[in-house]
Structure 1
Amino acid sequence: MTSALILIDVQRGFDNPVLGPRNNPDAEANIAALLGAWTGTLVLVRHDSVEPGSPLEPGTEGNTFKPVLDGVVPHLLFGKKVHSAFHGEVDLHAWLTGRGITEIVLAGIQTNMCVETTARLGHNLGYRVKVVLDATYTFDLGDLTADQLAQATATNLAGGRFAQIVSTKDVTG
C-alpha cells in the first residue's frame, strides 16, 4: 500500500485569538514528529479564504504556514477555498491515483472542519484513510468545547468507517 501524508491548513492564521480557545496544544509538536519520521509522499494544503478579513486571507501573514513547516519541501503544495482538500487548485484525487497512492494519512487544522471533510471525501473516493487525531486541533464552537468537537469527529469518522483514528506514535512507530 502506498501512502501520502496530507497536512491540512497548518497556517499562522489559526493563531488568531478571535477564533477562541483551542484544544491539543501538542498538535504542532506531533506534526513535527510526523514530518521527522515520514519517508513517503508529502502533501501540504493551504486554505486561501475568500472571506474578507479572514485570518487566512491570501497575501496576509495568517495565510502563511506555521513555523513547524519551515524548510519542509513537499511533493505537492496547493491552495483551496473550501473545506475538502479534494476540491482545491489541484485535482488531488487524480494526482494521488496517478502515483498509485491508496492510503491517505491526515493531520492539521481544524479537526472537525477541513480534516474531517477531507477524510469523509477521501473515503468516498476509495482511499484507506487515517486521521492522526493528536496532530490536529480545533476551537470551541457554540456550546461545545474543542475537545468535545474533536471527540465527536473521531467518533463520527471511526463509527461511520470513514477513517481509522490513530496517534502520532501509531504512525511514527
Structure 2
Amino acid sequence: MGTLSTNTALIIVDIQKGFNDLAYWGGNRNNPNAEENAKAILEKFRQLKLPIFFIQHCSQNPDSILHESNAGNELKDGFAPLEHEYLIKKSVNSSFIGTDLKDLLDKLSIKNTVIVGITTEHCVSTTTRMSGNFGYNTYVIEDACATFDKLGIDGKKYSAQEIHMMELSCLNNEFAKVLTTNELNPLLEQ
C-alpha cells in the first residue's frame, strides 16, 4: 500500500451539528467515537501539512436540519477549517457534484484521498464512489464514519451497524480500501 505522507488529501464529509439529533435521523447511531477518530486523523494531517477539505451539506429544503438557515448546518466543534484549509459547500450527496473539489485536488496533484464523515451510506459512500471513479487511490476510515438505523423497503428495521458494514463491504476493494484509524496511522508516517 505504501506511504500516504505525500500527494494525499483528507476529505471530512458533513460532520455537522444536525447529526446530533438522533430522532431526526431515525434513532440509534453507530460508531459513537467516529468524531474523535476523525479529529485524530485531522490533527495528523495538520502535523504533516497535508491538504484538508471540510465538506458541508447545505440542503435546498428549508425544513431540513441541514439547511443553511438552521443551526444544524454548522460544522461540529473541532471541525472548523483553518485559514489555509478548504471549505466546500454542497447540496447533493457527492462532494464532487456542483463543487470545485476535483479541480482543487488536481491542482494540488493529489493522488490519494482519505475520507471520513457522516453518513456512511449517503454522502460518504457517494463521495467515495466518485473519488474512486475519478482515479484517486481512495481510503475510507471505518471507525471515523457513522450512520443511523433505517427502515427498509420491506418495513424491517436495519441497525446502523448493519447498514454501515454492508455499505463499507460494497465499497471495499471496488471503489476504495476500507481501513481503521489504527491501520491508517502507519501509512501516514514519513
Alpha-carbon distance between aligned partners in 1 of 2:71 and 2:178, rounded to the nearest angstrom: 32
Q: Which moved more, 1:127-136 or 1:61-70?
A: 61-70
Q: Kindly tell me the number of residue pairs found equivalent between the two proteins.
A: 171
- Whether 2:111 is the aligned partner of 1:98: answer no
Alpha-carbon distance between aligned partners in 1 of 2:126 and 2:43, rounded to the nearest angstrom: 26
The TM-score normalised by the length of structure 2 is 0.85
Alpha-carbon distance between aligned partners in 1 of 2:86 and 2:110, rounded to the nearest angstrom: 13
Runs of 4+ in 1 over 4 A off after TM superposition: 70-74
2:56 alignment partner AA: R
After superposition, residues 50-61 of structure 1 pair within 5 angstroms as 50-61=60-71
1:131 alignment partner AA: V
Shift of 1:69: 1.2
Asked whether the equivalents of residues 116 and 140 of structure 2 are also in contact (C-alpha less than 8 Å), the reply is yes
What's the counterpart of residue 176 of structure 2?
163
The TM-score normalised by the length of structure 1 is 0.93
Which is higher, the Rg of structure 1 or of structure 2?
2
- Whether 2:146 is the aligned partner of 1:150: answer no
Q: Is the alpha carbon distance of 1:154 and 1:69 closer, same or farther for their aligned partners in structure 2, counting shifts above 3 Å?
A: same
What's the counterpart of residue 20 of structure 2?
15
- The percentage of aligned residue pairs carrying the same residue is 34
SS where residue 67 of structure 1 aligns?
coil
After superposition, residues 71-110 of structure 1 pair within 5 angstroms as 72-73=82-83, 75-88=85-98, 90-110=99-119
Choose the corresponding residue for 1:4, options 1, 9, 12: 9
After superposition, residues 122-133 of structure 1 pair within 5 angstroms as 122-133=131-142
What's the counterpart of residue 41 of structure 2?
34
Q: Is the alpha carbon distance of 1:156 and 1:49 closer, same or farther for their aligned partners in structure 2, counting shifts above 3 Å?
A: same
Q: Is the alpha carbon distance of 1:70 and 1:124 closer, same or farther for their aligned partners in structure 2, counting shifts above 3 Å?
A: closer
What's the counterpart of residue 48 of structure 1?
58
Structure 2 stretches lacking a partner, 5+ long: 1-5, 152-156
SS where residue 126 of structure 2 aligns?
helix
Structure 1 stretches lacking a partner, 5+ long: none
2:35 alignment partner AA: E
Shift of 1:73: 4.6
2:105 alignment partner AA: L
